[in-house]
Amino acid sequence: MARDFSRIVVYGSTSAGKTTVTKELGRILNSDVIILDDVFWGPNWEMPTTESFQKRVKEIISGKEKWVVDGNYSKVRPLILSNATFAVFLDLPLYLILWRVFSRTISRNTIINIHEPTPLPKRIEESGNGEHLLFSIYQLSSYAIRNIIKKKIPGIIEEVKKELGENNYIVLRKQKDVDKFLNIIRKIEGQGTT
């Protein structure tokens, strides 16, 4: 049975590589790319109400035949999942996630370029109110550790199984598995491997 990759949601811990995978899937599949951090966060780290966040997400995904969504926000998970056709879980090792938290935050905030610096959410970047280096490393690392301790990914997998079925998701536990999956999608789309 062929899998439907028209509307994909990408889950994973902070710094698991969700945005990178989402953008690459969007490029390969010629799909709209939706980064939930960009939808959620306002200038100066302002948070929307649950209702306004849900409304914005609904407006963004409604009527679109093809999209890839990056984000774990539980407030909009049922809305996105009920419209998705496939889910990708990035369940990478904690040491890799912590390294990425450290290296990305350092690269974003200093002249030291350890890792490809990932941007902050769009409206925060535009407002010029960035992040505090040490506080961000601490906060993002704590968040990643809490998610792993609380086993959030297995809980989300169960939600996905109920909504999409057994064959409409994949769990990627190593970076080489992520690369292999993207190469499979490239082959399906006739783009070869890179």
Per-residue pLDDT at 71:
81
What CA–CA distance (Å, rounded) separates 113 from 107?
A: 5
Q: Which two tokens stand for residue 40?
A: 């959620």
* pLDDT per position as a tens digit, 140-185: 788 778 776 667 778 888 999 999 998 999 999 999 999 999 999 9
- Cβ(110)–Cβ(136) under 8 Å? no
Domain ranges for the chain: 7-93+152-188
Q: Rounded to the nearest 5°, which phi and psi values hold at 111?
A: -85, -5
Q: Which two tokens stand for residue 57?
A: 């997400």
Residues of the chain with pLDDT under 50: none
Q: How many CB atoms lie within 10 A of CB 173?
A: 13
Q: Which two tokens stand for residue 170?
A: 């994949």
Per-residue pLDDT at 95:
87
Q: What is the CATH number of domain 7-93+152-188?
A: 3.40.50.300
Per-residue pLDDT at 127:
59
Per-residue pLDDT at 153:
77
- Whole-number Cα distances in Å, 105 to 74, 96, 108, 113, 141: 25, 14, 5, 10, 11
- The sheet carrying 7-12 orders its strands as 32-35, 67-70, 7-12, 86-90, 169-172
